[in-house]
Amino acid sequence: MAFDGSPRVVRPSSTFLKMCPDTYYERFGFCEGQIAAPPHPELGLVVVIPCFNEPDLIGSLGSLWNCDRPAGAVEVIVVLNSPASCDAAVREQNERSFQKASDWIAQHPDPRLSFHLLHLPDLPPKHAGVGLARKIGMDEAARRFDQLGKPRGIIVGFDADCQCDANYLTAIERHFLDHPRCPGCSVYFEHPLEGSLEAEVYDAIAAYELHLRFYNQALRYAGFPHAHHTLGSCMAVRANVYKSQGGMNRRQAGEDFYFLQKIIPLGAFADLTATRVIPSPRPSDRVPFGTGKAVLDALREGKRATYPLEAFLDLRTLFLAIPALCDGHAISNPDFLSAASKAMRSFLDKEDFVKSLQEIRQNTANEATFRSRFFRWFNAFRAMKFVHHARDYFYGEPKVGPEAVRLLQLVAGDVQGLDGMAVRDLLAIYRALERKVGNSQAKD
C-alpha cells in the first residue's frame, strides 16, 4: 500500500490502546499505521528495507524471494523515502523504484511471503534520512505483530542494495527458536570481492571490511563484553524488545550503531553466522559515513587505514584493572592513572573518570555488579570515542593490513607467513575467525 503526503502524528484509538496498552506508538511513534491489509496469522518475520535513491531495489527483493521459505509467514516492508526538499532527480528515481517494485510485487504473489511498499516522498527535512525510514518500517512491523498478539515476533533489518543467501530467512527463524532468551542478533555479512564494478572498488571494499572486522576483533581482545558488528542491513530484534527500548532513532547516519547499543547490553545478544548478507560495495555519498562513503573516500584518497592497535591495548589494560578498581582499598585512582598510558590518562581525565568511578562503587555491592555498571558507563560509544582520541592525538592512523597482522599475532600466537600478506588473504582469515566465534556462541 502506498502512502502519499505528510506523515500523520500517531493518535491511537481506544480500541488499539486496549490491544496495546504500552502506549509505545503514542510516546515514540512518528506516523500512523500504513498497511491496511491484515497480517498473515502465522507471521513470524518482518523484513524492513529503507530505500532512498536506490536503482537496484528489485535485486534486493528478488534475493529475498529466492530464499527458502521458513515455517512462519514473512512480510517485507519497503520504505521509499525522501525529504520534502530533495532534488528532483532523487524524487524521480524513487518514483521509478516505486513503479518497478509495484509491478514486480504484482508478478510475485505468495501469501506467506508478502511485500508492502510505503511511499513517503515528503518527510520533514530536519528528520528525513535512513534512521527515520528504518523507524517507520520497524514501527510498522511491530504493529503487525501487535495485531496478532505476537510480541516476540522478529523484526529484521535489510537494505535496498543487499543480497542474501538462500537460507537467510530460515536461519533467522531457527536462531530465535533455538535461543528464546536472545533479544536480537547481528547477522554475518560479506561484501562481494569481484563483479561488474571496477577492480579498485573491490580493493577498497576488501580493505574497509577488514577494518570493520579488525575493530570488532580488537575490541574482543581488549575484553570489551559488547563487541558486535552494528550494521542496519545485518540485524534482527524481537518486537517486544524493540519497543521496550524506545524503538529506532531518527539519526541520519549511525542509526544502527546507536540503536543496537540499547539492545546488546541486555544480554544474550548473538552473532548469527549460519547465513550471510551480501551488502553492496558501491561508493556512495548518501550518508556522511558508512560503507558507501568509506569506499568513496578510499577511491578518492587511496586510504586503506584503520585504528591503532595500541588503543586497544590501552583498553585491555583498563579492563583488566576492573577487579582492582572495584576494590577501592587495593588501588587508588591516582595510582591507576599514573600507570595508564598518556592516551588513556588524558581521555579518562576528560571523561571525569574519577567521579564516575566513585559513583559506580557507591552503587554496587560486588565485582559482578560493578563490572556491569562499569560497562554501562564505558559503553561502545565511549570505547569508540577513546579509540578516536588515541588515534587523533597519540598514535596516528596506521594501514589496515599491517595492523590486522599485529592483532592476529596476539590472538593466534606466532603464526608464520602473516607479514606482508595481502589484504584479501587477511580478510579471509578474519572472516573465518568471526564465523568460528559465531558458531561457538550458537552452541552456548
- Tens digit of pLDDT for each residue in 42-101? 999 999 999 999 999 999 999 999 999 999 999 999 999 999 999 999 999 999 999 999
Asked if residue 416 has pLDDT above 80, the reply is no
Asked if residue 8 has pLDDT above 50, the reply is no
Query: What kind of fold does domain 14-198+223-289 have according to CATH?
Result: Spore Coat Polysaccharide Biosynthesis Protein SpsA; Chain A (3.90.550)
Q: What is the largest CA-CA distance in the chain?
A: 71
Instruction: Pick the range with the lowest mean pLDDT from 11-25, 28-42, 203-217, 391-405.
Output: 11-25
Residue 18 pLDDT level (bands cut at 50, 70, 90) = very low
- The reported pLDDT for the residue numbered 209 is 97
Residue 329 pLDDT level (bands cut at 50, 70, 90) = low
Distance CA 36, CA 17 (A): 18
Of all residues in the chain, the percent with pLDDT exceeding 90 is 81
CB 434 within 8 A of CB 216: yes
| pTM to 2 decimal places | 0.91
- Tens digit of pLDDT for each residue in 364-380? 999 999 999 999 999 99
Mean pLDDT of 306-315: 98
Asked if residue 442 has pLDDT above 70, the reply is no
Asked if residue 20 has pLDDT above 50, the reply is no
Average pLDDT score, the chain: 91
Residue 6 pLDDT level (bands cut at 50, 70, 90) = very low
Q: What residue segments make up the domains of the chain, in order of their start?
A: 14-198+223-289, 309-443
Burial track 12-22 (b if 16+ CB lie within 10 A, e otherwise): beeebeeebee
Asked if residue 16 has pLDDT above 60, the reply is no
Mean pLDDT of 288-310: 80
- The reported pLDDT for the residue numbered 337 is 74
Instruction: Pick the range with the lowest mean pLDDT from 82-91, 104-113, 296-305.
Output: 296-305
Beta bridge partners of 270: 185
In this structure, the number of other CB atoms found within 10 A of the CB of residue 8 comes to 12
How wide is the angle at C-alpha 423 spanned by C-alphas 437 and 398, nearest 5°?
Answer: 95
Of all residues in the chain, the percent with pLDDT exceeding 70 is 90
Asked if residue 258 has pLDDT above 70, the reply is yes
